[in-house]
Amino acid sequence: MDLNQIVQQNIWWLILIFVWSTAWKAWALWIAAKKDQKVWFLIFIILNTAGILEIFYIFYFSKQVKSANGKHKD
C-alpha cells in the first residue's frame, strides 16, 4: 500500500484532524495575542500538536494571573 492509497482511504479522518487542530490553534492564538503573550504565540505558530498544547493553554495557562510580586497565582 502506498502513501496515496493511505491518504485516499483516510481522507475524512485527515480533514477532521485538520479542522480540529486549526480551530484550537486559532482560539489559542487569539487569546495569546489578546494577552500580549508573544512567547506562547510563537510556540503555537511553530509547533503543531493537533490541538493538545492549545487546549492546555486555553483551559490552564491562560487562566493564571500574576500577583503583585510577579509570581503566578491560580
Domain-embedded: residue 11: no
Q: How many domains does the chain have?
A: 1
- Name the residue range of residue 47's domain: 20-69
For residue 66, what are the β-bridge partners? 72
Domain-embedded: residue 4: no
pLDDT over 90 (residue 11) = yes
Domain-embedded: residue 7: no
Domain-embedded: residue 13: no
pLDDT over 80 (residue 73) = no
pTM over 0.75: no
Distances (CA, A) of 17 to 11, 13, 34, 36, 41: 10, 6, 26, 28, 21
Can you tell me the mean pLDDT for 11-31?
Answer: 93
**What is the pLDDT, as a whole number, of residue 27?**
95
Domain-embedded: residue 2: no
What confidence tens digit (pLDDT) does each residue in 34-67 have?
Answer: 999 999 999 999 988 888 999 999 999 888 766 5
Domain-embedded: residue 14: no
